[in-house]
A = this chain, B = another copy of it.
Amino acid sequence: MHTLYSMQNSGNCYKLRLAMAQLSIPFEIHDVDILKGESRTPEFLALNPNGKVPALRLKTGQLLSESNAILFFLAEDTPLMPEGKFCRAEVLQWMFFEQYSHEPYIAVARFWLKLMKGGRELKRDMLDDWWERGYEALGVMERHLETHDFFAAGQYSIADIALYAYTHVAGDGEFDLSDFPGINAWMTRVQNQPGHVAMDWRP
């Protein structure tokens, strides 16, 4: 069975729980509390030198890190991955957008405002920049969703899972989604997919 090194309230870790639930892939969870420094212990760094969760130890013993790379691994040859070279590249395009233009603002604002005690004071100088760039990313998503039901290849895929993970909790970083009707309708479509589980789900 695969082992997921995971923090329950991390959106990057939730992506993998959601995908494995929908693909009926059995796995167990090894909890890593990054707030207690558990991703920086010598034991964890020997496992994942980049010192981050999630990481997935396959039943073969091999280790993978980076949430979206793991998503791609899990989804190959499943209904969560569109067929065809161009469609796979479109999936990756949105997953790189998520990690470069979305997560560093929307997830990071949530981390410091919601999860880290005293974070608002510590990061006061960064908040305006995170909100500005986070809203830019939400604007790119909204314009895409004006004419598309899903992000890539006209179907629900790991691109939607990657973007849903932190978008649906953007309010924790004090983003207001009420002016984004396309994003709200898309989030409902994602929640209505067979086998959908919420962020607090564990196997």
A residues within 8 Å of B by Cβ?
A: 49-50, 58, 62, 64-70, 72-73, 76, 85-86, 88-90, 92-93, 95-97, 99-101, 103-104, 125, 140, 143-144
Contacts and interface: CB of A to CB of B under 8 A. Distances in A.
- Chain A interface, >50% SS class: helix
10 contacts: A49-B140, A64-B89, A66-B96, A70-B93, A72-B89, A73-B88, A76-B88, A95-B96, A96-B99, A100-B104
As for how many copies of this chain the complex holds, the number is 2
B92 A66 contact: yes
A99 to B, nearest CB: 5
Contacts of A68: 92, 96
A69 B50 contact: no
> Which of A65, A67, A69, A95 has the most chain B CB atoms inside 10 A of its CB?
A69
Contact of A49 (B50, B104, B143): B143
B86 A73 contact: yes
Contacts of A88: 72-73, 76
Contacts of A100: 66, 99-100, 103-104
Contacts of A70: 89, 93
